[in-house]
Structure 1
């Protein structure tokens, strides 16, 4: 796929959950920092942290629920400090994202990057995909993924 020189997001290595052997070990998003941000977010939302689940293969993300009046599912990429929001827990996402609530600042205060619905639903033609390998592209095509969020928050094998 050609890279749009005006792309609004550049995929780093490991964004899909796969790494090339020569890349070395993948970065890890710290689970404890994510949990601390969840509790801060729940306080700010006037809610509480509900069920949390650490990433397990083949998913590329941790999940948690902030319960309360503004209940949201919180997604945290396992290799990069990206946060997204959804209404329901799933094994993968394509366009089912929500805009961040006001209390999402709790995540940015702890070093996470909160992604909004507009960015997550960007078509892949608007993303710098130069880092993607032929294997990545095979999976993207076979799963019918067409958005940035679908590439980041997936469970392909």
Structure 2
């Protein structure tokens, strides 16, 4: 069973320690490697900024254009189609053939199936109190909208 780790939502109580961030530079480097593997290019990289808890990059390859999302607390990546601003939960896509480049760089590639899973289908035991309060407030219907969000 997949486990959502403490801090993955981007929220924590004042008593909980900060998580080391996934550096945008590390993500950017992995995106450029992936683009080379896909015989494509990186069109843009956007670093996480409040309220977004994820970095994103657009990769254009001969097979099409995909947005790569990376949680800013955990090296978890997902793929989406047509994302330019806020994430549309219906936009999550299956990982492309070149997604293994991210695994080789130390990232966990999340499947479309996992992203679409309801929260009761994964282990949420490690989430903190502040995160549970946010989940109760925002009521995300799936893992993807919990791991990659713009809650404020």
TM over 0.5: yes
Moved over 4 A (4+): none
- Cα 1:93–1:143, aligned 2, differ >3 Å: closer, same or farther? farther
RMSD of aligned C-alpha atoms?
1.6
State the alpha-carbon separation in 1 of the partners of residues 88 and 3 from structure 2. Answer: 19
State the alpha-carbon separation in 2 of the partners of residues 110 and 102 from structure 1. Answer: 15
Uncovered stretches (5+) of structure 1, i.e. residues with no partner? 1-7
- Cα 1:144–1:22, aligned 2, differ >3 Å: closer, same or farther? closer
- Provide Cα deviations, 1:29-51, integer angstroms capped at 9, x if missing partner: 02221111111111111110001
Residue from 37, 57, 71 that aligns with 2:50:
57
Aligned to 1:152: 147
Offset of residue 101 of structure 1:
0.4
State the alpha-carbon separation in 1 of the partners of residues 15 and 133 from structure 2. Answer: 20
Pairing 1:87–2:81 present? yes
State the alpha-carbon separation in 2 of the partners of residues 14 and 92 from structure 1. Answer: 19
Offset of residue 132 of structure 1:
3.1
Uncovered stretches (5+) of structure 2, i.e. residues with no partner? none
Offset of residue 131 of structure 1:
2.9
State the alpha-carbon separation in 2 of the partners of residues 29 and 48 from structure 1. Answer: 22
- Provide Cα deviations, 1:112-135, integer angstroms capped at 9, x if missing partner: 001010111111111111233454
TM-score w.r.t. length of structure 1: 0.87
Aligned to 2:137: 142
SS of residue paired to 1:129? coil
Deviates most, 91-100 or 103-112: 91-100
Aligned to 1:128: 123
Residue from 86, 96, 99 that aligns with 1:101:
96
Aligned to 2:105: 110
Q: How many residues align?
A: 150
